[in-house]
Structure 1
Amino acid sequence: MQPPAALGTNTQVMDTVIVLFNRDLRVADHPALAAACARARLVVPLFVLDPAVPAGRRAGFLSECLADLRGSLRARGGELFVRHGDTVHETMRLARESAAEAVFTSADVSALAQRRQRRLAAQPIEVRLFPGVTVIPPGELLPSGGGDHYRVFTPYWRAWSVAPRRDPERAPTRVEVPDGQPAGDIPDAPRWGALAGGETQGRARMRTWLRDHLAGYAEGRDDLAGDRTSKLSPYLRFGCVSPLELAGCGEEEFVRQLCWRDFHHQVTHAFPGIGRSDYRPHRGHWREDAYAASAWAEGMTGVPIVDAGMRQLLAEGWMHNRARLITASYLVKQLGVDWRTGARHFFELLLDGDVADNCGNWQWVAGTGNDTRRNRAFNPIRQAKRFDPDGEYVRRYVPELAGVPAPLVHEPWLSPRPVRGYPPRLDSPP
């Protein structure tokens, strides 16, 4: 199996190539699709709904992404072939039926993705991996002192910022597919949250946000009530927009967030067990407290800013990034609950939930990951008064407190289901 490569590294002409889509559901800046259309007479775009990768609450968003991708391919004379089952088995079945000579796919980093790539490589067919999931492919940047990945963000940011990048690929104008293959059904699923899936929606949001809101991002990104973040993360998670294109926007603070995404992906590439195992050993013991964890998940802890964040997640399938830090820190640092409990809950509900970013960020907060300050904690009351000074965010999601004035709205309250040991210990530094 060839490693991720730029489009121009091989010009061999083929008859039929399968393009296996995974977390890259777009036609613009899709190196694997562009290469297949340039090098093969016929292209077989394929997505496999694999039970090993349950979509959960993201099923509706995924269905909209697939429907939009199918529409884009059909507009170019092509088709999106959808199959159900084990990804490798279904890919090889379609390869035999279409007499495909190769499989082109975007390289990914999770343990499941890496196993799938190894299994594909063991099949009697040529497999080529392409970039596209991140701005810079994991493993391309290596620390000067040795090692297979960067363990600390700041040196990675310095190297990443000056590293050469490939040029974005144009969407193909024509996709020729073989005759006689059934397209397959895209399952119907209800939408979770307010965001509609698909490249069309993602690119429209990207254009509008870059035009109208990027300039104020650095000043407003932590304003909880202002809600001035891009909400492009679900579209990045499913590959509806290109991270490389976004990284060309030129706004350093926003680009830095894309670099954090790449950073977690290169960590996961080197440490694929990031969703199960501590990247760095945990100092101490986690508490087993199902009641406290349940109150946290339901937004019933009695700490207004924590409850507001958790209720936003329940209602929208999304949470403001500052609220993610506050709620995660509260679970692991104040309640002492294992970060894996929180990561599972976030992964189940977040439209943008993926292994690298979700687990990388949870381990960073827990002190088991890539934070150089392992004892860092976020005091929820201080954070609330700083980033929601008027209490608007709290009142939006905790209507029980609608009449409480600021700053009293941020003080712990006796919820109908308070955490055992209430009030919690809130004396850690911000």
Structure 2
Amino acid sequence: MIAPKQIGNTATFADITANGALAVMGTVEQYRALVFTQATPGVSVTLPSPQSASIIFSLPASNKGSVAITVEGVVLPPGQTMLLAWDGASWDVLGNVVPTGGTTGQVYTKNSNANFDASWKTLAVAPTQIGSAATIADIAASGAITVTGAIEQYRGLVFTQTTANIAVTLPSPQNTALVFWLPIAHKGTAAIAVQGVVIYPGHTMLVGWDGASWDVLGNVVPPGGTSGQVLAKNSNSDFDVSWKTPTSGPGVLNTIDCTGISPVTDQTSFLTGYTIYEIDLINVVPSDSGPSMRMQWFTTDGLGAGSTNGYVTHLFWGDGMNSASGSYGWVNTNDFFLPDNLSNVAGSGVHGKITIYNPASTTTYKKWTGEFASSNASGDLIQHRTVGISTRNTLAVTGFKLATTSGQAFSSGKVIVRAVA
């Protein structure tokens, strides 16, 4: 359909003054390229379909004029070339071809947000300057800082601040159209506010110019610290953090193996500053058959557990058995009742827990609860529940003692002390 001598022809269009479809001599597929010489702005054109609609081919279009022209819905700026293609049914704009021109070191840069509106430009930062850092001496008064040259020529800023309570702002770049980030390190001894955000000694923050203003992107994790330390807040202020050794949180405070011990004591766990503690008994078995289990509190009177100042003033307890209706009672005592008539058979020990509330308080009565399961010497399964309250005094409880009424050592089991809250 296309004579060989026609292939390679270029269709040049004079200035087009009105929107509409282009007209070419012959058929559009006979041309190797289109050239616009547009001088009238705001004109939009479409290309004619080829006579043979089933063929697939590409067609470059150049604009040698002085103003942009829209071709198939895409703006073609002056001095640029776009590549179009007929896909067998319609025209597609494949993209713009990198234009000629430019000089050594220039970059192809967007002039606007519009597609293909770009040109060769010289970087605002000379390549030899990239990588240098501006060191800022101690600043004595708040205000805008100054740097030699343009701020965008620097790869970073370093403050050596020693004067406290100073707030500074950064200068705008000379080329405000740039978008870039800038790390700021603080090697001084006094915190300084940069763009409204405090940067602390030894820290690095990251700021970014978004084409219109500076944004604080965040702080970089500071160096230092040792194995196992965590990055912790020093105050409620943003980015005021440092490496610290973590303190223990709620959880297990002490684990005691009861084997061969009598009594089992703990006088440290209640001193860790929590409000609620739990004492877990895990299969605690006496070495002899038939004793009862009792717990007593240590207090700040220094007289020891179970003294006349002891804490269990009022105690309500109840037992339920698999072979009987059980029993209950209310007593005044220095002992905290746990199950009675215990079996010394392995695996039949006392399981359960005691919860004590705010033992360190010196202004409130102490309250505690207990719930246990065990086997007695007759082989009965026992469920034992008890609650206690002291109305004798408000001394702080500093620990506990667990023993049997026979005074014999335990043969097995564990006691675990936990901080709950």
Q: Which category of TM-score, normalised to the shorter sequence, fits these structures? A: under 0.3
Q: Greater share of helix residues, 1 or 2?
A: 1
Q: When the two structures are superposed, what TM-score results if normalisation uses the length of structure 2?
A: 0.20
Which TM-score applies when normalising by structure 1?
A: 0.20
Greater relative CO (CA pairs within 8 A, separation 6+): 1
Name the larger-Rg structure. Answer: 2
Q: Which has the higher strand share?
A: 2
